[in-house]
Chains A and B, each alone.
Chain A
Amino acid sequence: MIDAIRELYSRRDLLIIMAWREIKVKYKQSVMGMLWAVLMPIVIVCSGFVVRYAMAGMSGKPVESTDLMSVAVKAAPWAFFVSTLRFGNTSLINSAHLVTKIYLPRLIFPLASVSSQLLDFSISTVAVTLFLAIAGAGVSIELLWLPLLLGALVVLATSLAILFSAASLFLRDVKFLVDVFLTFAIFFTPVFYESKLFGKLAPLLLINPVSPLLEGISDVVIHHQAPDLPWIAYSCTVAVVLFVVSLTSFKKLEPFFAESI
């Protein structure tokens, strides 16, 4: 694993250029350009509002502004997580012509894809911050939790992207599985709702390591309270373990990429 990181470091210029290529290519020949990065979170936020109003109608409780803000603040990280997995998943398959013809550290492909999603995420974060500022979300000391929460989210998404990219290279089943799963994952993840709505069953939702992170973000940004520490610790552990596992198995499988793709 250390070797993998060292090799990547020695080819860091390539990683930067490949990430830049992803970004550049994504927005070529489009008039809106990078503004598209904000579109996906906006759609998620809008559908979240609709769901919230529907739930309020059923339960008879009014919709509170913090609920809407909570949906908005969770939408951007969720969009980042989903698109990182979706594009990371196919990053190796879509570069088949390079994988089979030129040698370069293959970790570059999923990582370049993650980097371009990170840029989109930064843009949408700016948009969300503006929205929250206008809506009057306020600031508090709890915001200091944010770097840890976002860091864990990025590590988690990156690890899964690396793992899936290699797995779907060998087995296209993985590619379809991930796609199908991502389409419906929003129902199993507390983006539009909070896990506490489910009472005793809440831990079942929180097993998904993204859930505690999303709720944590909402806690510190909207509710100005510390996140649920045991669950955050769980998510961070999963993220670190997955990172080591995905990197190690990627390097183990790498020599067989060219003949198996």
Chain B
Amino acid sequence: MADNVLEVSGVYKKFRRGELYGSLRDLLPAMVGRIFRPKLKPAEVDLDKRDFWALRDVTFSVKRGEAFAIIGGNGAGKSTLLKLLTGIMRPTMGDIRVAGRISALIEVSAGFHPDLTGRENVFLNGAILGMTRDEIKRRFDEIVAFSGLEEFIDTPVKRYSSGMFARLGFSVAAHVDPDVLLVDEVLSVGDYLFQRKCVERMNAVIAAGSTVVFVSHNLRAVANLCPRSMLIERGQVQMIGPTEEVIRAYYKRGSEPRTADERRKASITEVIAHDDSGRVVEIESGSKLRITVRGHAQQRIEDMSVVIQIVDDNQYSVFDTCTQRLGAGALTLEEGDSIEATFELDLSLAEGTFHVNAYLHRYLTDWPYDTWLSAATFFVTGAHDVRGLVTLYPRLTDCRISSGASKSEETVDGD
């Protein structure tokens, strides 16, 4: 299709575990083979036991002006995919077509040379990212202003702090005007204010009609920026669709029961978020949510309490409670005993993604027997009238405008 800026079809990428070449005997045929058979057909690709597929049959396309996200856990193949898209690597099989200039906000300060000054590095990095010298000259002041490093621009970057380093890198990269922009985890650069600046910049780039492909673990940012996304796992595309649905699918896969660790005295075996109708992933704000934690003792444990903590997407604690505080006292489990604790919560949370952390806590030593972070994940919906983490059930009781010119008053009465 003509309006597809990016087309990826049937892409495979093979990697090899361990050292690349064991001996001269392996090497020579390998080199010769590589030079004369650059394109392989599926049947010809033999996977010996040291090889593995980092990507398998990946197919998707991105339209002009679209913001598209790639979601997946560590090792799912996201970075490999981005490297193929930028042309750093070539796929083992399959085709990638890019219409126009592609630029990547990945490793934004890789092009920096420590001995050069900030000014010199802006030119160097700008050129590496595909700008011409005239373009850089024209936008130089804008770039420096964005980084907020005017004072230190003539200092060698080896004297910069790592935050300054990354900020300058991002500032240069953010001012390249590509047809396709690839963004990988760079929004976690700098402090809160700078991060917000980055997200605004992304929004501006999208609004200006650039195509953006976004890779991030910050799923809230992804959901805000990209309407459509792709879930990739163990190198294979699991799903392509509206971001909300893809994120939901991603979290559903994440909460599988885990096996007990034999070395621990006690371990959490299951954490379920549920309501009357059973397990839930999506829940209306203000309704009742139950969280059940199941655990098992391998040895006798004393002074134990079950703790649940609800955190937001950035792992900031929103709420926590435990059996001890709720009146169950210190629990003692004999070897082989199991425990099940169910907490009922009135969910006064605003819209968003929340995770449940569960702990088997030991009171005396303040040290957990077992910890399970993000054991369950749920989405809160329905609190349309508030933003933030929680809802305090706001009601508008009065809202009036006093006019300076006349004495008449407009009054709106809430309930």
Contact residues of A with B, CB < 8 Å? 11, 13-14, 16-18, 21, 24-25, 28-29, 97-104, 170-171, 249, 252-253, 255-256, 258-260
Contact = CB atoms under 8 A, between A and B. Distances in A.
Contacts of B110: 97-98, 101-102
Contacts, number: 71
Contacts of A253: 34-35
B27 A258 contact: no
Interface string B58-84: 000000000000000000000000010
Given A98-B111, A102-B111, A255 B128 contact: no
Contacts of A11: 130
B89 interface: yes
20 contacts: A14-B130, A17-B127, A18-B127, A21-B116, A24-B116, A24-B120, A28-B116, A28-B156, A29-B115, A97-B110, A98-B110, A99-B88, A101-B107, A102-B106, A102-B128, A253-B34, A255-B90, A256-B34, A258-B83, A259-B89
B113 interface: yes
Name the residue among A16, A17, A97, A103 with the largest chain B CB count within 10 angstroms. Answer: A103
Contact of A255 (B38, B115, B130): B38
Interface string B98-133: 000000101100110101100010011001111111
B52 interface: no
A116 to B, nearest CB: 13
A28 B107 CA distance: 25
B227 interface: no
A45 B15 CA distance: 51
List 4 A-B pairs, minimum CB-CB distance, nearest first.
A255-B90, A101-B107, A17-B127, A103-B87
A258 B89 contact: yes
A100 B120 CA distance: 22
B399 interface: no
Contacts of A258: 83, 88-89
Contact of B113 (A16, A21, A252): A21
Contacts of B292: none
Contacts of B15: 259
A192 B34 CA distance: 43
B401 interface: no
Nearest to A28: B115
B20 interface: yes
B127 A103 contact: no
Contacts of A16: 133
Contacts of B83: 258
B86 A102 contact: yes
B193 interface: no
B127 A102 contact: no
B1 interface: no
A102 B86 CA distance: 8
Nearest to B134: A13
Nearest to B107: A101
Contacts of B120: 21, 24
Contacts of A28: 115-116, 156
Interface in B1-52: 15, 20, 27, 31, 34-35, 38
Contacts of B156: 28
A103 B86 contact: yes
Nearest to A255: B90
A97 B90 CA distance: 18
